Structure 1
Amino acid sequence: MAKVKMKTNRSAAKRFKVTANGKIMHKKAGKSHLLRKKSRKTKRHLKKYKEIFAGFYDHVAKIIPYKF
């Protein structure tokens, strides 16, 4: 029986990045529109990537198997 390759979830692959240390990072929400009312500081902090919640690691690692 041939070994079956797992398919990567393409939408997840575009949303998550894996660091050299194996952390899964995502972009913060809220930077796409309605920026006029947000302060300069808020917009600056929304630029940064953030590590995902620990409870989601297993699920995200399963849907992007070849990023690790």
Structure 2
Amino acid sequence: MPKMKSNRGAAKSFRKLGSGKFKRNKAYKSHILTTKSRARKRNLRKGVIVAKADEKKVARMLQQ
């Protein structure tokens, strides 16, 4: 049986941390930035940990 392929879109969107959790970038930072405040855009730059409810789905997409 051939090897399973990881979801390439997910592989580019999530990173596995040393703790076993997954890190992701926030959405809404690609366009229409003139209407967003400086503080809001600054907060969108930061990465966040994937929610506990979604960890299993992300791990499966990445074949972890």
Same-fold call, TM cutoff 0.5: yes
How many residues align structurally?
64
- Sequence identity (%): 41
3-state SS in 2 of match to 1:58 = helix
Q: What's the C-alpha RMSD, in Å, of the aligned pairs? A: 1.3
TM-score normalised to the size of structure 2?
0.87
3-state SS in 1 of match to 2:15 = strand
TM-score normalised to the size of structure 1?
0.83
Query: In the TM superposition, what is the alpha-carbon distance from 1:23 to its structure 2 partner?
Result: 1.3
Match of residue 34 from structure 2: 36
Task: Extract unaligned runs of 5+ from structure 2.
Answer: none
Match of residue 22 from structure 1: 20
Larger Rg: 1
